[in-house]
Structure 1
């Protein structure tokens, strides 16, 4: 059976790769550049390094540093208004998933009319967008190479995604040095987000041999190097491997899609502003336990990929991965739902909203019920 595998970005990887930025801007004949980042990137001194390189390209620079976690439609519209007023012709996004997603969303509105909310769903973007250079500073979301934007709709209180091959960043500058200043908690949460991408895309009902290869390889890298990156943020081998793993995982999940973990995480983030990686990590082990019945062989393959001791008894072995992920989240200090301020009184409302999440369509176990979701939330509590 034929299957499609889409990869688009031109990636420059490694130390000092940011030095390629002036050349890239000249290639695009850039005149007016918008640089997008958040306060954390500024505090870490990363934005300064990027802006120093941009100066060499002799362009007019507009800075938008109002990025917030789980970016909202309102922030997108605000940044887009500035970009249109300044007649921006190239974007440079610096940061984690929030900065890159926001920039991809703003870019849609530069060449497509209306409001950003109307582009939710798959393949809704009509016109090609402007050049975008993504410079990730976290190893987690893979937003720099995916065709996905995740945004928060504050009116309907939900997170939604825009999926379209037109919106992928044209060029990616992946410099592991830029992840060195990430706080331990962010390293852990974004790393668990990356593990979620690898695992969920592997068991997705849209997975193909090409996506499965990337998902497995990424999981092996994360499993070995995430604990090292959390233990010592200056371990540059671990930082480099995590960033490499994120690129590989992104190739997999942007083609295979994700599942119930993301459905729950989107809902938690929309209602309680939980950081996306943390929301994923909190429920990941329990969703994998829940999904094990529907794809036991794949669960065993994932366990084998990270050298867990397989007994040969499928009924037992299918739970090896979920148990190991639970152990890992505890080791990395991932908080429970109760530690993040969620109460059991919220479960009913959360579960009802989770069932509306489109990503459930890609989950290996179908016909998820409200009771199923509440049971998972109780375990993660």
Structure 2
């Protein structure tokens, strides 16, 4: 048995660790940083809370508040230009996955010339490290704080690109569950389902290892238990802590085992329909389960059992896939994930989205490469849902 397991970031997990970020920069001998966030996070008061400590340690701060969902590559280049001109020595990202991906790419460009898309063609093409990077997540979805890559959009080409490499990961991930208190229901649901997708897909990956499998299964167990509770009660610290832990363990798994069909479908869904990433992953995950069940029925059975299903040993394999996929669909429905019809997805683009899946990278991790016609049928069936508006549909679109 041979495998490599990588954890790019030092991890500090606990209540109120966000109030010590300035001290962490000071310990690293950093005296000037760029702080990257979006206006939604700014409105919560979290940025002021964290930067108050940073400024209190005598550290100069250049603020960049223009992050948007599915951050475009040219936004990264703009922020990096400001950071380079200001000669900052480090970067602080406060927010959700879009903010953290932006911060990682901006920080990497502090040590490497050119624009960010110059590094989108192959893994680990950046030759030099950037500055000192601290990421402070405010949601529990992408796990970007503990992965060595980021996803950006190229809107004019209707595509997303991944930037991966050893110089992308954060030096320090500060995971403070108190920052996740009060997140709206829709964002809680979308980011939580994103974490579940990371856990399930990494468990079904063809490059999974004993370590990633253990992390994936623990994440599935934790997220299944705490996500409905966290959606229904946004101010319970135990539930928020559980979800932060589930996101962390899922991220550590998928940073090493990667994902499969679910994310392969979700990326073009986001690029063409501008669906929030977590919502797209929630919609696509049941397809991944059913598409992989013949390649790994025992793993699919284990996923179902951890989610609380009683599954006979002699169950038909197709029925097994349908049963476990239905459990994921029910969880998504219970927490208010909308379907494609509710999201206003243009049905004329279904074929285009399905065709785009063939261009997604890392398909060597797929237990089974799906047929385009099967993806088309799946997307059509999802769009043919009830059309009944979910209460959380609008907040699913926010970017906090």
Which band: TM-score by shorter chain? over 0.9
Counterpart mapping for 1:309-320 below 5 A: 309-315=310-316, 316-320=319-323
Segment of structure 1 superposing worse, 68-77 or 163-172: 163-172
Residues 286, 380 of structure 1: 8 Å contact kept: no
Residues 143, 250 of structure 1: 8 Å contact kept: yes
Match of 1:18 in 2: 18
SS in 1 for 2:146: coil
Aligned residues: 380
The ranges of structure 1 where at least 4 consecutive aligned residues each deviate by more than 6 angstroms after the TM superposition are none
1:155 deviation in Å?
A: 3.2
SS in 1 for 2:208: coil
For 2:220 and 2:254, how far apart are their aligned partners in 1? 12
Residues 90, 107 of structure 2: 8 Å contact kept: no
1:199 deviation in Å?
A: 0.2
Match of 1:209 in 2: 210
Residue 336 (str. 1) matches residue 336 (str. 2): no
Match of 2:179 in 1: 178
1:215-263: CA deviation from partner (whole Å, max 9, x where unpaired): 0000000000000000100111010010011111111000000011111
Match of 2:158 in 1: 157
Match of 2:100 in 1: 100
Match of 1:65 in 2: 65
1:110 deviation in Å?
A: 1.0
For 1:185 and 1:254, how far apart are their aligned partners in 2? 25
Please provide the CA RMSD for this pair.
Answer: 1.2
For 1:11 and 1:321, how far apart are their aligned partners in 2? 33
- TM-score scaled by length of structure 1: 0.97
For 1:170 and 1:320, how far apart are their aligned partners in 2? 41
For 2:196 and 2:70, how far apart are their aligned partners in 1? 19
SS in 2 for 1:339: coil
Match of 1:369 in 2: 371
Match of 1:46 in 2: 46
Counterpart mapping for 1:70-85 below 5 A: 70-85=70-85
1:344 deviation in Å?
A: 2.3
For 1:313 and 1:178, how far apart are their aligned partners in 2? 46
For 2:198 and 2:238, how far apart are their aligned partners in 1? 21
Residues 300, 321 of structure 2: 8 Å contact kept: yes
Match of 1:218 in 2: 219
SS in 1 for 2:151: strand
Matching residue within 356, 359, 364 for 1:356 = 359
Match of 2:388 in 1: none
Match of 1:7 in 2: 7
For 2:152 and 2:362, how far apart are their aligned partners in 1? 14
Match of 1:126 in 2: 127
Unaligned runs of 5+ in 2: 384-400
Segment of structure 1 superposing worse, 192-201 or 160-169: 160-169
Match of 1:89 in 2: 89
Match of 2:288 in 1: 287
